[in-house]
Amino acid sequence: MLKSEQLYFILFDAAILAAVPFAALLLRLDGDVGSPYFNVLMKVLPVAVIIKIGAFYFYGIYNRIWRYATVRDMFSIIGACTIANVVIALLAMYMQVNLPRSIYVISYILDVGLICFSRLVVRMLLLMNQSRFGGEPDKSLLIIGAGDAGVMIARELVQRGEGGKLLGFVDDDKSKIGRKLLGYGVLGSSDQLDEIVRDNGVREIIIAMPSVKGSIIKKAAGKCRGLGCHVKVLPGLYELIDGKVSVQQLRNIELEDLLRRDSIQLDMDAISRYIENKVVMVTGAGGSIGSELCRQISKARPAKLILLGRGENSIYEIHQELVEKFGAERYVPVIADIRDEERIDSVFSQYRPQLVFHAAAHKHVPLMEAQPVEAVKNNIFGTRHVAQAADRYGAEAFVMISTDKAVNPTSVMGASKRLAELVVQDMNRHSNTKFAIVRFGNVLGSRGSVVPLFKKQIAKGGPITITDPEMVRYFMTIPEAAQLVLQAGTFSKGGEVFLLDMGEPVKILDMARDLVELHGLIPDKDIKFVFTGLRPGEKLYEELLTAEEGTQKTCHERIFEAPIGDVATPEMMEKINSLEHEKDTYKILTVIKELIPTYNSRALQNLKVNG
- Residues with a catalytic annotation lie at 405
The 3 state secondary structure assigned to 12-73 is: HHHHHHHHHHHHHHHHHCCCCCCCCHHHHHHHHHHHHHHHHHHHHHHCCHHHCCHHHCCHHH
- Max CA pair span of the chain: 119
- d(CA 81, CA 449) in angstroms, rounded, equals 60
Q: How crowded is residue 206: how many other Cβ atoms within 10 Å of its Cβ?
A: 25
The values of phi and psi at residue 309, to 5°, are -165, 165
- d(CA 448, CA 516) in angstroms, rounded, equals 19
Identity of the amino acid at 568? A
330-348 in b/e form (b: 16+ CB < 10 A) is bbebbebebbebebbeebb
Using CA atoms, how far residue 541 sits from 238, 370, 412, in Å, is: 27, 21, 17
Query: Rounded to the nearest 10 degrees, how much is the dihedral formed by the CA atoms of 230, 236, 237, 241?
Result: -80
- d(CA 92, CA 95) in angstroms, rounded, equals 5
**Length of the chain, in residues:** 611
- d(CA 305, CA 354) in angstroms, rounded, equals 10
Distance of CA 527 to the CA centre of its chain: 33
Using CA atoms, how far residue 67 sits from 16, 44, 128, in Å, is: 20, 34, 10
Q: CA 532, 533, 536: angle at the middle one, nearest 5?
A: 115
279-296 in b/e form (b: 16+ CB < 10 A) is bbbbbbbbbbbbbbbbbb
- d(CA 153, CA 159) in angstroms, rounded, equals 10
Strand-pairing partners, residue 577, are none
Within 360-445, residue ranges assigned H as helices are: 365-370, 372-375, 383-392, 412-429
Using CA atoms, how far residue 141 sits from 202, 230, 274, 388, in Å, is: 6, 10, 44, 58
Query: Rounded to the nearest 10 degrees, how much is the dihedral formed by the CA atoms of 585, 587, 593, 594?
Result: -160
Q: Can you point out the beta strands (E) in 506-550?
A: 506-507, 529-531
- The bridge status of strand 497-500 relative to strand 559-562 is antiparallel
Q: Is the peptide bond before 523 cis (omega within 30 degrees of 0)?
A: no
Q: Is 322 exposed, middle or buried (0-12, 13-18, 19+ CB in 10 A)?
A: buried
Query: Rounded to the nearest 10 degrees, how much is the dihedral formed by the CA atoms of 542, 545, 547, 550?
Result: -140
8-state DSSP, 568: -
- The bridge status of strand 331-335 relative to strand 304-309 is parallel
